[in-house]
Amino acid sequence: MNKKQLFEQIKLKKSFLCVGLDPVLENIPQHLMSHEDPIFEFNRQIIEATKDLCVAYKPNTAFYESRGIKGWESLLKTWAHIPKDIFTIADAKRGDIGNTSAMYADAFFNEEKSGMSFDSITVAPYMGKDSVSPFLSYPDKWVILLAATSNEGHNDFQLLETPDGKLYEQVIKVSSTWADSDRLMYVVGATRGAEFANIRRLAPDSFFLVPGVGAQGGSLADVCEFGLNDHCGLLINSSRGIIYAGKGEDFAEKARAEALKLQKEMQEILEKAELV
């Protein structure tokens, strides 16, 4: 899915919502435990309940890898169940020397080898260009580079001053020479607030994947005020706030209700910006 196609989905659904599929076995409704694969059944029902309200799904691979072979099987089935007109993000935060990154790229992009072909993958930039290039060698895939995150420890490194600005600014400036905005997105935490204006200045045409709205305290209004561009340019992720909205047999309906609230808010923002 290229940038134009992604924007078409945003306009069609009047939404730039990304649903994070991060299930913990102990937290899913007990009635699902009778299924052969409770994690997949949980994801399946969440997808069925929200697929008309979101434009992306983002499984965080740690929630699957931690369960060994069973977890990988759940991830494979989840990826296969997501409709092909919805953008898929493997939230794996990979990044290593070139030949290792090439194997990671195969794992998430090469369906013939691994059984999965996500549209994109999150990548850590610390090791530089040669650790990112293998993911960009797939011409129809995206790299979503960690830039300015929302976690408590982000200021340990990301805000360090360099001769050319803060370290996260350097990440954006340098990486923008590796690929254009049709191939490269950035992770920018919702809790960065007004700093979005500076980040948008550095990457005017790029999409940002934005975690931290809701459970982590980020404001959708603030993010959009400073981060919206002429093709929206935002994918707002919500995980716990949607998937754990209900704990009973109606959990999928509760998840839909929470997703619908966000979609309606996003529709108002898009209409006000005259993007739909």
Question: With contact defined as beta carbons under 8 Å apart, do 214 and 238 qualify?
Answer: yes
Question: With contact defined as beta carbons under 8 Å apart, do 255 and 17 qualify?
Answer: no
- Cα R_g (the chain), whole angstroms: 18
Q: Of the candidates 202, 207, 203, which has an alpha carbon nearest to the alpha carbon of residue 183?
A: 207
| Residue in 11, 70, 77, 93 annotated catalytic | 93
**Residue 129 annotated in active site:** no
DSSP state of 60: B
- Looking at the DSSP bridge assignments, the partners of residue 170 are none
d(CA 143, CA 26): 32
Classify each residue of 133-167 as buried b or exposed e, where b means 16 or more C-beta atoms within 10 Å of its C-beta.
bbbbebeebbbbbbbbbbeeebeeebeeeeeeebb
User: Residue 249: is it exposed, middle or buried by C-beta count within 10 angstroms (0-12/13-18/19+)?
Assistant: exposed
What dihedral do alpha carbons 107, 108, 110, 113 form, nearest 10°? 30
At 59 the three-state DSSP class reads strand
d(CA 260, CA 169): 34
Active-site residues, by number, are: 93
